[in-house]
Amino acid sequence: MRELSNDNQPLTKEQVYDVLQMAQSMYGVGSMYGIQGAYTPELSNQVLLNLNNNALTPTYKRILEALANYKERQHETQAFSEFMEKFDMIYARAVEYYSNLLAFDLRYSCINASENDYVDGTVEKAKSYVNKFLNSFNYKSEFQKITREVLRHETCYVWFRSDLATGDKNPKFAIQLLPQDRCKLTRYWENGLLFDFDMTYFLMPGVDINGYDPVFKKYFNEVFISDTFKNYIPSNQFSKTGNFAYWIQTTPPDGAWVFKRDMSNFVEVPFLAPFLKNVIRNDEIRKLQYDKDFQSAYAILAGEMRMFDNAKSGTQKDQFSVDPGTLGKLLSLVKSGLNNNIKLAAMPVEKLSWLQYKDDNPDMVDTYYKNSVAPAASASRLIYSTDKMSNMEIENALMSDYQVVAKLYLQFNMFLNYYVNRYLATKRIKLRFDFRFEGSIFPFERKNRQDQIMALADKGITLNPSAFASAYGYTPMEFENMLNESYYSDRWNKLVHLISIHTIGQNKGGRPMIDNGDLTPSGEANRNS
């Protein structure tokens, strides 16, 4: 290393770069240039533990203040949400409930194919690449993780990664979560929102840039090594074509994508943030209920001590009929025979009374959950209320909750539309496809979709296989594989034989069973009984 100046003269550029390179080596980023970093398993593990875990311990007052100033303190509401998910089971169940409502049933269709494209097999060739992409991308698992993250933070910053650059004939695709606190929404584009990334994250001890997409090395060079950084002067006017300090503008072609539940604004306040006001009181209410129950288990046995019948004030030394010392010994014997929860007062014993704490609200916790906690979800009456919901009420409540997260489907659609069609373009395929997610985990909702598609089929309108696959809960590839297996094997004949043996003569007739939602209250009661 060149000797640093000690004569109060400004450091040269070369000296500054020497210090920077040493720091990079010490903190691990230097390894990307062949310099051994200072990594340890403990340090690497700590980086992973801290990744997207920035919880803050809330109080009722802090929650109210954060919600009242949500634009300035939106990240504080996210931190409170993280804490409560690990601290309070009610809040954790609410996040879990909403996170698992989506079924991710997928259907797709070609949007620019001609009749000849279907005849000459061009569409089938394109579909084979679509299926290869979908088979290499576990979209249900990946999108479910994103749904959970969106409920925690409102936004989810990710990087779409692939190994296409390696030339592998069987490519792999995955989504990597970025450090959420290093990302910032900055602008719109035709498919949603865009964000900038704070590159100083890779200067942190234990952070390995090799664990991220290779494009981040290019970003690192642009920010810290290139002439852009060398010529950076904070007082200079900001240029749209340059970098703002140590932030980099990310782009979807590189892999950057951001999901957000409410796309109407840039505010990153979690959907369940208002619910924090309710659950923060859970422990207080439970403790109060415990204290009340504990107090009601105690009692006091008290009575009045007899006086001399003709006792007059000032006429004798002791007006009690029993000597207090003697009474104390007697009470001690009585107390020894009583339960510890019953307190015996050293009082007179003539008019014996049983005194016990009376709880006028023994169901305080249940009442609190019903009135304050339960509104977090429309279907929460199923858990927190003692009154019975009708089948129609249940279905409407469940569908209302489903709509809260179903709006994410639109963004998942755009994600697949963008990256699958880009993948087709790399294969020089001109055809483009449109992808649509639908469906919830509720059986009645799936049955409604099945009835709709079969009603169309009865009228001679047959949709493509992916539409049937979606309605019945299969992936498009699974459904087509099962159709091919049935068509090209002997299984169909075996199935027909099985049907003929076990079903012929067993049709007893009668009216088909009515759906639960169409039952009258009396019919519903009869079915339940």
Spatial contact of 153 and 266, defined as CB atoms under 8 Å apart: no
| Torsion from C-alpha of 440, 442, 447, 449, nearest 10 degrees | -20
* Beta strand ranges found along 297-417 (DSSP E): 299-302, 342-344, 353-356
Helix orientation angle between 139-153 and 89-99, rounded to the nearest 10 degrees:
140
Give residue-wise pLDDT tens across range 73-86: 999 999 999 999 98
Give residues with Cβ within 8 angstroms of 222, minimum separation 6: 228, 229, 243, 248
What is the rounded CA–CA span in Å between residue 56 and residue 219?
31
pLDDT of residue 146: 96
Choose the most confident range, by mean pLDDT, from 163-167, 304-308, 475-479.
475-479
Neighbours of 445 (CB within 10 A): 17
What is the rounded CA–CA span in Å between residue 328 and residue 331?
5
What is the rounded CA–CA span in Å between residue 249 and residue 232?
16
User: With bands split at pLDDT 50, 70 and 90, how would you rate the model's confidence at 34?
Assistant: very low
Single out the residue of 511, 503, 518 nearest to residue 447, CA to CA: 518
pLDDT higher than 90, residue 279 = no
Average pLDDT (230-252) is: 63
Antiparallel, parallel or unpaired: β 342-344 and 299-302: parallel
pLDDT of residue 1: 46
Q: How far is CA 266 from CA 74, 145, 259, 260, 290, in A?
A: 11, 21, 11, 9, 43
Tokens of 319: 């007006």
pLDDT of residue 243: 47
pLDDT higher than 60, residue 142 = yes
pLDDT of residue 216: 94
pLDDT higher than 80, residue 127 = yes
| Torsion from C-alpha of 20, 24, 30, 35, nearest 10 degrees | 80
pLDDT of residue 386: 58
Choose the most confident range, by mean pLDDT, from 79-93, 194-208, 292-306, 420-434.
420-434
Q: Among the listed ranges 70-74, 336-340, 440-444, which one has the minimum average pLDDT value? A: 336-340
What is the rounded CA–CA span in Å between residue 17 and residue 89?
51
What is the rounded CA–CA span in Å between residue 6 and residue 190?
55
Q: What is the mean pLDDT of the chain?
A: 78
What is the rounded CA–CA span in Å between residue 191 and residue 418?
9
Give residue-wise pLDDT tens across range 7-27: 566 666 666 666 666 655 555
pLDDT of residue 482: 86
pLDDT higher than 80, residue 157 = yes
pLDDT of residue 33: 42
Q: Among the listed ranges 288-297, 333-342, 387-396, which one has the minimum average pLDDT value? A: 288-297
What is the rounded CA–CA span in Å between residue 335 and residue 357?
19
pLDDT of residue 30: 44
User: With bands split at pLDDT 50, 70 and 90, how would you rate the model's confidence at 106?
Assistant: very high
171 vs 358, more confident:
171
Helix orientation angle between 74-87 and 89-99, rounded to the nearest 10 degrees:
110
- Per DSSP, the three-state class of 289 is helix
pLDDT of residue 242: 45
Average pLDDT (508-516) is: 60
pLDDT of residue 90: 84
Give residue-wise pLDDT tens across range 196-238: 999 999 988 888 899 999 999 999 988 887 665 555 555 545 4
pLDDT of residue 119: 93
What is the rounded CA–CA span in Å between residue 467 and residue 146?
24
| Torsion from C-alpha of 252, 255, 258, 259, nearest 10 degrees | 110
The DSSP letter of residue 108 is E
User: To which residue do tokens 């009661």 refer?
Assistant: 525
Following DSSP, what letter does each residue of 446-511 receive, concatenated? HHHHHHHHHHHHHTT-PPPHHHHHHHTT--HHHHHHHHHHHHHSTHHHHHHHHHHHHHTT-----P
